[in-house]
Structure 1
């Protein structure tokens, strides 16, 4: 087998400008042989038509169209088989996959890092995932992010089970990228662009940020970068770094701030629910673990992006397990040992808040008012009213 083919995955919300980037790349490929897989949701494959109109169909490279589905679900098998075929045929230097605007990046990355048991193909034999790239629309980002709409409401998915909000998808695509391409920079002011870059840096401190106009980005900026590492990408989000005390301070001059809220006392479910219903608008991203008095055995996880707020179960607290199980886990995880409390064990609330012009004192005071009082701490927690929805497992 010849050397592995580097794969670049181009993500980004619908209309962000992925196809424009692809057109520019193919027009300025400087002799490189690039194979392209275009994945599009619509019955009429507009994206690939644009690419063909841009001259791509008259070149010697290969264009493969995958329609009526999404990389992260129905077309996964098609994608894997198509990539294997292209790789085995050889005679290409790079493979670029333009994913649909509603596809999440992690399942795409997993396609290249794990053997697919159903199809029985291990793409890592032929390819190496080079970089995950997300195109972010500087002009439309905030209107999409703050819309409060779901993909279903926007008629951007045919799956009635798909309950994702637009804001969640935008954040997922930003947080898991190696490179963020900012499109439509000619439609915003230089001051806005600087602040927007800082905001993206706060969400994903590891990503390279490249502003562009009309999709013009040099091939060497996005091809053969050797940037992707699944473990690193999984830990690259700004909220994870903040939780690990890796603070990114340089964004504060634009009013973009963040802090970690840590308390070793559970939330009162009713007061926590009321606080969440009146969620401060200046918080644009928050995520982390919380301790709820009425669900003392299980850790909760809060994930907020724009107007989308989700809570779910994050597994049992180690402190709720048997002594033998606790000892086994503590021996395996030294970081857990260092923060273990003799009385509470690992139970605590630990959440990251990222926002624009946030009043940290006001937010912390509000959160503190949701904690159990001294009197409530010694009462029967099972008798507290709990209006929060049940913890889901995903």
Structure 2
């Protein structure tokens, strides 16, 4: 069968794997490991650092060295947009050429894997996304998660409108893939080494952790990747969150409650809660917004609170069948006879976590017995403390 882009049958199928990560040396070590251990593999990289000069630099290499290079023009003055526009045509060109067992897309520092995975998966044949990895040096976990500086300040912004922080970007890079490539740098003392690996394990509960140098990374990235399942793992309503754990001085606190938050008391505690852990995530509900599922996303002392749509209990039953299966299962597991799937589920992960103080602070933000007894009609009279955050004036 002859198809578009010169594809001639199933033999031209090109497996594609994504390797990203803010830690440049770890990412490069991981890609070099794949090129060395997977015969017929090739790496495609777009360097966005040249964007101020009006172009994105593209290179293609294999285990022997550079094969080709060129420039991709900026799109709407946006380096990341240029990457999206240029990535698939280059991969299709490599597929047309044949002879490659695996194409490795090595992402630039601040590009998150999820965005590029969706672009590649949407193209379909002859491209087949078979794996997504983030490469990391465990010794850099704490410094990166504590870095609240904007990407723009570090020269890592992917677009003029990019307002992300280093900590937020790094956390999202860690939590999306199914493979974490561990490429350790200089020697560290044993307690610090153990703590770094404990933190990595707690932050990435659903990922397979593979050390570079063990020749298993390439094989792990050929096993297959489900974009829809990965997106579900990230969605606040059914995200795969860390579990309760305490090891080598690193703890994860899982806080689950049924009562809604008092909007005023929670708002007053936001700064302390955002700084309580290296990373915190989850979903929650406010008494004055009972139908809105709210997402909690904090790293580097910066907190992002956003609406993630309605709770399932706020929808008519006819709408349930239109929701993803993962969402329906998550709602059923958390169902409460009075509140439906509305609940608090926040996780806090950090070295030296003060669990007792955090529990006291979180519980103090819930409705008291008297406030809870007032019911939804009474809750509507509570202070609308989050209106400026969730309903900004255009």
> TM-score, length-normalised on structure 2?
0.80
| Partner residue in 1 for 2:3 | none
User: Aligned partners of 1:87 and 1:4: how far apart in 2?
Assistant: 7
Instruction: Quote how far apart the aligned CAs of 1:151 are.
Output: 0.7
Taking a change above 3 Å as real, the CA distance of residues 17 and 357 of structure 1, as seen in their structure-2 partners, is: closer
Structure 2: runs of 5 or more not aligned:
1-8
Change (3 A) 1:65 1:16: farther
Q: Summarize the alignment of residues 26-175 of structure 1 with structure 2, pairs less than 5 Å apart.
A: 26=35, 28-29=36-37, 32-43=39-50, 56-57=65-66, 66=72, 73-114=81-122, 122=123, 124-157=124-157, 159-175=159-175
The Cα shift of 1:338 comes to: 5.7
Deviation readout 1:160-190 (Å, 9 max, x if unpaired): 4211111111111111223222334324233
TM-superposed deviation, 1:102 = 0.9
CA contact 2:284–2:344 (8 Å) conserved in 1: yes
Note the C-alpha offset of 1:90: 1.0
2:320 is aligned to 329
Residue pair 2:20, 2:173 contacting (<8 A) in 1 also: yes
Q: Does 1:369 align with 2:367?
A: no
Rounded Cα–Cα distance in structure 2 between residues aligned with 1:66 and 1:193 = 41
Report whether the alignment pairs 1:221 with 2:235: no
**How far apart in 2 are the matches of 1:86 and 1:331?**
38
Q: How many residues align?
A: 368
> How many Å separate the matches in 2 of 1:313 and 1:320?
14
2:331 equivalent to 1:314:
no
Tell me if 1:294 matches 2:302.
no
Deviation of 1:62 (Å): 5.3
**1:303–1:310: 8 Å Cα contact kept in structure 2?**
yes
Report the Cα offset of residue 50 of structure 1: 12
Structure 1 position 176 matched with structure 2 position 170: no
Is the alpha carbon distance of 1:110 and 1:38 closer, same or farther for their aligned partners in structure 2, counting shifts above 3 Å? Answer: same
Structure 1 residues 189, 228: closer, same or farther in 2, change over 3 A? farther
User: 8 Å contact 2:139–2:196 — kept in the other structure?
Assistant: no
- Check whether the contact 1:185–1:211 (CA below 8 A) recurs between aligned residues: no
Query: CA, structure 1 residues 38+125, in 2 after alignment: closer, same or farther (shift >3 Å)?
Result: same
Tell me how far 1:132 sits from its aligned partner. 1.1
| 1:288-340: CA deviation from partner (whole Å, max 9, x where unpaired) | 2211122233121111123121000121234444xxx1465389846535644
Matched residues in 1 for 2:293 and 2:45: separation? 40
Residue in 1 aligned with 2:27? 18
Alignment deviations for residues 36-63 of structure 1 (CA, whole Å, 9 cap, x no partner): 21111122899978979x9513xxx556
> Structure 1 residue 142: deviation in Å?
2.3
SS where residue 283 of structure 1 aligns? coil
1:266 has 2:260 as partner: yes
Given candidates 341, 358, 378, the residue that maps to 2:336 is: 341
Secondary structure of the structure 2 residue equivalent to 1:17: helix
Contact 1:313 1:392 in 2 (8 A): no
CA distance in 1, matches of 2:254, 2:244: 12
1-side partners of 2:178 and 2:26: how far apart? 17
| 1:359 paired residue number | 354
1:392–1:219 distance in 2 versus 1, CA, 3 Å: farther
Q: CA deviation at 1:235?
A: 5.3
1:195-214 equivalences in 2 (<5 Å)? 195-212=195-212
Q: How many angstroms does 1:94 deviate by?
A: 1.6
- Of the three residues 378, 381, 388, the one matched with 1:380 is 378
